[in-house]
Amino acid sequence: MSRTPLKVRLGKGIELIYDGGGVVLDPYGFSPGCESALLTHAHRDHSRGYVKYRRGFATAETLDLLTLYVGRSRLRGSGRVRIGDRFKLDELEVSVHEAGHVLGSVMYRISTAEYTLLYTGDMNCVETLVSKPAEEVPCDILILDSTFGYPYFKFPDRNRLYGRIVEWAIDVIKDGRIPVLHADSLGNSQELIVLFNRFTNIPVVAHHRVALVNEVYRRHGVKMDYISHNTEEGRELVRSGFCVYIAPKGAKVLLNRPTRKALVSGWALTFRNGFPLSDHADYPSLINYVARVRPKMVYTYPSGYSGRVLADRIRKVLDIPAQPLR
């Protein structure tokens, strides 16, 4: 283990600096002085700078998903890790843990002679149709996902939300329209497809960008039935009107049939036309996670308004020092 102080700072990602080098977590650019990168998952706001590093580590699932964005040739030098792995990175000891967010997502626990640090990346603390909950990992310093870190964000019971989504889709079809659900291409879209597979006989048509991600899920053992809109069968289903259409957030969907659209995202809690199904932890789950892990210090990340509010609540509710990461 490292016997030199480990400095934690926000740069082109979360930088851990020590004598002789540094490692960056979820890089969005190149950090001088950091030769290595640890990647928690494939969402582009976390992985954009990953290919800029001489050494990188991610799960096989994450690398396969990342191939969709950067191509396989740029990832040839990447090391592959699995949940449960332990390995040395220069003077640091690293262990890999379930994050519960999307396919291949992990948390990293980093140990030095002085303390242990856990970086959650994006995390989800409840079981979903396509993922396990985040592992509770003891640590001294916790860098915590604060995406939905203020008290307004308390998501509904997931099983009830599943029921609401299915009932809405059935009502839309009965009304002669195609239900169009807009969600992240990676994460919520796959959960929606499995939901309709498991609890209905309604065919699912996927936007081509969603279909590309679906195939990676399938290769890694997640069973789902869907038809890509880029196929004749997919176009025929759309013409029939008897299907559910899954599209990326913000995608323009023109089906030449009447539709009714809804957003599926944690952010939908702030809208009337949507369903707050999220692959992130909500505020109560984050507070409970910190209470169970009992770190000596918490840094919230991202460090905007939500990060500031969450840090304040951790201090007041749990009496644990906390501040946004800067």
Q: CA of 106: how far to CAs of 54, 101, 123, 152, in Å?
A: 21, 8, 8, 26
C-beta of residue 284 within 8 angstroms of C-beta of residue 130 = no
CA distance 79 to 94: 13
Over residues 141-195, the pLDDT tens digits come to: 999 999 999 999 999 999 999 999 999 999 999 999 999 999 999 999 999 999 9
- Of 324, 185, 150, 177, nearest to 265 (Cα)? 185
CATH number of the domain bearing residue 237 = 3.40.50.10890
Q: Which two tokens stand for residue 254?
A: 């023109």
C-beta of residue 299 within 8 angstroms of C-beta of residue 323 = yes
The crossing angle, in degrees rounded to 10, of helices 60-70 and 208-219 is 150
Peptide bond into 302 cis (omega under 30): yes
Q: Choose between 79 and 4: higher pLDDT.
A: 79
Query: At residue 246, does pLDDT exceed 80?
Result: yes
CA distance 210 to 190: 8
Residues 112 and 71 in one domain: yes
What pLDDT sits at residue 44? 92
Q: Choose between 280 and 74: higher pLDDT.
A: 280
Q: Which two tokens stand for residue 199?
A: 């609890």
Residues 250 and 299 in one domain: no
- Total number of domains constituting the chain: 2
CATH number of the domain bearing residue 293 = 3.60.15.10
What pLDDT sits at residue 72? 83
User: Could you tell me how many helices (H) and strands (E) the chain has, helices first?
Assistant: 8, 19
Residues forming beta bridges with residue 262, ordered by sequence position = 181
Rounded to the nearest 5 degrees, what angle is found at the Cα of 249, between the Cα atoms of 236 and 104? 95
Q: Which two tokens stand for residue 139?
A: 């640590």
Residues 120 and 75 in one domain: yes
69 part of a folded domain: yes
Residues 127 and 254 in one domain: no
Q: CA of 231: how far to CAs of 77, 87, 207, 211, in Å?
A: 35, 44, 10, 11
Q: In the predicted model, what is the mean pLDDT of residues 7-18?
A: 92
Residues in the chain, how many?
Answer: 326
Q: In the predicted model, what is the mean pLDDT of residues 230-243?
A: 96
Residues 21 and 104 in one domain: yes
CA distance 318 to 181: 38
Residues forming beta bridges with residue 22, ordered by sequence position = 17
| Residue 184, SS3 per DSSP | coil
Over residues 129-148, the pLDDT tens digits come to: 999 999 999 999 999 999 99
Residues 209 and 294 in one domain: no
1 part of a folded domain: no
What pLDDT sits at residue 4? 57
85 part of a folded domain: yes
63 part of a folded domain: yes
What pLDDT sits at residue 3? 53
Query: At residue 1, does pLDDT exceed 60?
Result: no
CA neighbours closer than 13 Å in the CB half-sphere of residue 220: 18
Residues 232 and 268 in one domain: yes
Q: Choose between 62 and 75: higher pLDDT.
A: 62
Residue type at position 28:
Y
What pLDDT sits at residue 2? 47
Task: Give the residue numbers spanning the domain of 186.
Answer: 158-275
CA distance 222 to 272: 31
What pLDDT sits at residue 279? 97
Residues forming beta bridges with residue 8, ordered by sequence position = 16
Residues 130 and 266 in one domain: no
Q: In the predicted model, what is the mean pLDDT of residues 32-53?
A: 92
Query: At residue 30, does pLDDT exceed 50?
Result: yes
Number of Cβ within a 10 Å radius of residue 138? 12
Residues 146 and 43 in one domain: yes
Per the listing, tokens 């990346």 go with 121
DSSP string, 67-96: HHHH-SGGGTT-EEE-TT-EEEETTEEEEE
What pLDDT sits at residue 197? 98
211 part of a folded domain: yes
Judging by DSSP bridges, how do beta strands 13-18 and 7-11 pair with one another?
A: antiparallel
